[in-house]
Structure 1
């Protein structure tokens, strides 16, 4: 019985590990940013958190939209229809470029709201110049996503990983030079971190295009686009899949953003502690995200082949593998919860010792809750990936809205701001929302696959 699932583990990991490493790369850069910025002080760390909170909400919409490209390319690949695969990429690139520019504009329009959110004034002042540059870096990031999702749809998960590794090396180097003013470079503080992010994302787009163009197998896909000929039917297909996927990602990212803002109401130390716990959790979440792509591609392929029994078995093998890995991560969080926060701060800084000690104590409590939500978070994103592979997006969007905003957020708000639990209460709300999402999405997947098998 178990062998039916475990025999798929090796292939699932082979398909997902480049995605995991690529996504971990993004998170590792945020990790490096946070460690470098944390050396400047807790206000700077909180400012990066506040600035990124705006960008993450916009980014979730862009990345969510781009995920529509993967199942369309995977299905075209399964059906050996190269023209449909190229068309999905071309139309996806147009949409992602327009979306990136629109989201940058939207952040500029929403920026004044930052003054009315009851955030610490010193944090707001630091966050604004950082936000401008990081917001513009959304444009190349979302264009990169179109290439990434296309590449993954063809089960070629290594190229986005290579581009991300190069971008990370550029980002960390520029961060070191510009945050601290090393080797004669100007000392720009957290604005230096934003410059590093922008430059590295431009390089990332150029490099993935170069990698794909160089391979004979993909050259015809990524060259000689006729952008004058845009088909409404293909655009509608991508939008009909992409818009609900964008909303799913938006509902989840928005509740984590709400956690950042609620923490800001509690003060800069609560916000800094929240940023540490969030950054650590996002690293393990990337493993779930990578397996989610494997689920989306493999389910999309089986859908193209109309092989529904294997579709269900393969998807459940990925769910099972995710559960095992997330339990391991939960154990690591439990054991290391007091030590991990000390990596982010200058513990020997006597002037800020009281602030740093408070941040470490609060972050350790948050990591206790985060240990348990590893499991729910990993499972919900992988089941969501399988549902995207089935091109089922509308009901899952409703499920994510109910889980995060009708269950999770009210709990976070009440326990965080109206009880003594404070920061821990905010995270108990996040745990509740993720668990509700995982359970309801799995019930949806089970219902659909049984229906397909019995047809």
Structure 2
């Protein structure tokens, strides 16, 4: 591909990705706002939010991962101008996501006793339990929202999820402020106020998304003819064949990071709080790669529908290169500001906890240096994974990520975290190893498949 073509692709990819990135950054900001506001209450409260969210994130990964099956199916059908197929995927996806959201809520509530078995500080568990119940309920509207989002993304209409997330963040910040700290007539609820803010903002988000899409003239046709009688087993199975491996792949990664939270919690509450700070910052920058992953999935899905595999390969590589460039910029910023960023999450004026606060800042600054490197690998693996989903290749990548994260990465995290002086830093070195192996395996898989498709269609 010539330099001029690369620049043209870069420009298009950025325009398509920007709304997705803004939406995903906004989605991550909901958790970051919780961490910043709760961090002002103390390191114990921050650790409790971290522990509670760790279980919710596991369930969330299953729902969000499953919903990604809708985008490549709709993107391919959009290229073929198959309105009936798009409508069918959307309607079946909505029903599936609603059912999955309810099931995940129940699963998290019944899984609460697991916290007692994770060798976490007792005072952290006591605070985490009520927080967990409310945030678990927010999974229901969140997963339903994902069905709307993946539908719109598949049609390359990525801006609407951005609007919904912006609205949700504004609402979330306001509710958090009055309920966490007890402003005006509202009670001071602490971390429970943060949980209620998440629930209310996510309900508002799915309602907003429904009506903003319904008001678009070109989308009205997809909201028509909805009936349970029109839902077929065959379409459920088709979505599930893509959705289940995608859900498991995302589960493997999220559980890896959740295990890192638990490992850091077993080391001590300062390590757990520091882990949450570094993870919040890394998650924020990771959303840029996630946005580009959606672009990769959409555009590869479009090219698959056209059966233009040489164009598919060129487009995918342009997205990979853009992701690498973006993540290298963030890595540089993490290195430069690693001693500054942790201060955003903690109250240095609280003299009762000054010793813990200083320790948290020291550990978090070290973790950010590791995060600077691993987010490059993380960005590459997720954007290549998006391209593979666009090709509707999900089973082999699922196995690859399991091996990378759990056979190779986690043992390194466990050994370095529990049996060396590296402690929390050692846990993150293991994360870096797992993500790097995943990036390598997935790229080799994509390179093999695309070259095979090109040969078969010459």
Give the TM-score band, short-chain normalised.
Answer: over 0.9
Aligned to 1:192: 193
More off after superposition, 395-404 vs 102-111: 102-111
For residues 406-437 of structure 1, give each alpha carbon's deviation from its aligned partner in whole angstroms, at most 9, with x where no partner exists.
01100000000011110000000000000000
Aligned-pair CA distance for 1:352: 0.8
Counterpart CA distance in 2 for 1:438 and 1:5 is 22
Q: Report Cα offsets for 1:376-433 as digits up to 9, x if no partner.
A: 0000000000000000000000010000000110000000001111000000000000
Query: Residues 1-400 of structure 1: matches in 2 within 5 Å?
Result: 1-400=2-401
Q: CA deviation at 1:374?
A: 1.3
1:223 CA displacement: 3.8
Please state if 1:439 is matched with 2:440.
Answer: yes
Task: Measure, in 2, the Cα distance between the counterparts of 1:230 and 1:425.
Answer: 50
Question: CA offsets per residue over residues 218-247 of structure 1, 9 Å max, x none?
Answer: 012124411222211111110000000001
Q: Secondary structure at the match of 1:186?
A: coil
1:108 Cα deviation from its structure 2 partner = 1.6
For 1:253 and 1:223, locate their aligned partners in 2 and report how far apart those are by CA, in whole Å.
Answer: 36
CA distance in structure 1 between the partners assigned to 2:224 and 2:253 by the alignment: 35
TM-score normalised according to structure 1 size: 0.99
Q: How many residues align?
A: 455
CA distance in 2, matches of 1:364, 1:172: 26
Q: Hey, what's the Cα distance between the residues in 1 that align with 2:409 and 2:335?
A: 22
Do 1:5 and 1:316's aligned partners in 2 also have CA atoms closer than 8 Å?
A: no
Note if contact 1:213-1:223 (Cα within 8 Å) is conserved in structure 2.
no
SS in 2 for 1:228: helix
Structure 1 CA distance for aligned equivalents of residues 4 and 274 of structure 2 = 43
CA RMSD after TM alignment: 0.7
1:209 and 1:222 in contact (8 A); partners too: no
Return the offset for 1:350: 1.3
CA distance in structure 2 between the aligned counterparts of 1:338 and 1:223, rounded to whole angstroms: 54
- 1:56-96 per-position Cα deviation (integer Å, ceiling 9, x unaligned): 00000000000000000000100000110010010101110
Structure 2: segments with no counterpart, 5+ residues: none
Q: Could you tell me whether the CA contact under 8 Å between 1:416 and 1:424 is conserved in 2?
A: yes
Partner of 1:184, secondary structure, is: coil
How far does residue 4 in structure 1 lie from its aligned partner after superposition? 3.3
Asked if the contact 1:411–1:429 (Cα under 8 Å) also holds between the matched residues in 2, the reply is yes
Give how far 1:265 is off.
0.1
Query: 2: CA distance between counterparts of 1:26 and 1:392?
Result: 27
My pick for the range that moved more, 26-35 or 284-293, is 26-35
Which ranges of structure 1 fall in alignment gaps of 5 or more residues?
none
Q: Distance in 2 between matches of 1:18 and 1:227?
A: 33
